[in-house]
Amino acid sequence: AVRYGTMRETVLALEVVTASGDIIRTGNRAKKSAAGYDLTRLMVGSEGTLGIFTEITLRLFPLPEAVSAAVCSFASIADAVHTVIQTIQMGVPIARVELVDAATVAMVNKHSNLTLREEPMLLMEFHGSPNGVKEQAELVQDIAAEFNAQGFEWADTPEERTRLFTARHNAYFAGIQSRPGCRAITTDTCVPISRLADCLLESIDEVNASGIPYFLVGHVGDGNFHFGYLIDPDDAEERARAEALNHRLVHRAIAMEGTCTGEHGIGIHKQDFLIEECGEGAIAMMRAIKQALDPQNILNPGKVFAL
């Protein structure tokens, strides 16, 4: 239970086999360390191109004393996102906040036989003491009311929370089922919270104009979101349109001081975007690290950038 935790934040140390066959450790069990380069984060972020992990030491977080979840709907994406922005700016330690757009809610209703309001929806979770969770939830409900939120529903038991988060958990499968035989081209961009509404609204207008059906979900508490463009895999022109949408989405995110990938990595498909985002100087440094640690290019070759 870590607020917007990532793999990099929860890994304390790694045992790594290098390209030369050496075994190294990148840290220890101390809560923090300033000893040398941060090899742990370097290795975790390398997508398997610098070493093979044989042991991982993680920081474990206890389950919170109390957990509460809520869903509510809005008339617009902008109102939902501005609710999140104000919540974070006020310092509310919300543990989890997800966005599902109206089209995706409709898909989930059909897929799972639900009757959710077919409007943009926020799904939220609060962790802490019973009194702390209650105070957080009441404050967020007041903030959401300022942006005309409707249909608040609360849940405290694990079963009730799972039911409320059904829309988020089933979004991919609901999207695929909505167009039999289709495949999803999924995206992964992240922008500063202050630019999230702009990026989402421009991107939604663009995909609506394209005529390609889609689903949209977002980890909006950290500015990360995913479109799933639902295409006919046998239609080359439709695939090209979806790829063009993805390119424009990534360019937009980078222009807004965001990133081409919030969590899924560069791999092969986003190598050109990495150059655009980081610049040739940073790429040259990455290549130098790769060349120094894996001169024969035997670890996940061809990923992240070409040598």
Reduced to 3 states (helix: H, G, I; strand: E, B; else coil), residue 102 is helix
Q: How many CB atoms lie within 10 A of CB 7?
A: 12
Residue 8 has what pLDDT? 53
Q: What is the architecture of the domain spanning 7-61+267-293?
A: 2-Layer Sandwich (3.30)
Per residue in 61-120, pLDDT tens? 888 899 999 999 999 999 999 999 999 999 988 899 999 999 999 999 999 998 889 999
Place 2 in a pLDDT band, splitting at 50, 70 and 90.
Answer: very low
Mean pLDDT over residues 169-193, rounded?
A: 94
> Residues 79, 83, 85, 89: what is their CA dihedral angle, to the nearest 10 degrees?
150
Tell whether the torsion through CA atoms of 278, 284, 290 and 293 is positive or negative: negative
Tell me the average pLDDT of the chain.
92
Q: pTM for the complete prediction? A: 0.90
Delimiting residues of CATH 3.30.465.10 domain(s) in the chain: 7-61+267-293
Place 4 in a pLDDT band, splitting at 50, 70 and 90.
Answer: very low
Residue 9 has what pLDDT? 63
Name every residue whose Cβ is closer than 8 Å to that of residue 264 and which is 6 or more positions away in sequence. Answer: 188
Delimiting residues of CATH 3.30.70.2190 domain(s) in the chain: 66-171
Per residue in 257-270, pLDDT tens? 999 999 999 999 99
Q: From 295, 304, 303, select the one nearest 18 (Cα to Cα).
A: 295
Q: Parallel, antiparallel, or unpaired: how do β-strands 224-231 and 183-186 relate?
A: antiparallel
Ramachandran angles phi, psi of 227, nearest 5°:
-90, 145
Inform me whether the pLDDT recorded for 7 exceeds 70: no
Reduced to 3 states (helix: H, G, I; strand: E, B; else coil), residue 306 is coil
Token pair, residue 27, equals 């840290």
What CATH number matches the domain at 66-171, 3.30.70.2190, 2.70.70.10, 3.40.50.300, 3.30.70.270?
Answer: 3.30.70.2190
Angstrom CA distances, 13 to 44, 55, 67, 199, stand at 10, 8, 29, 36
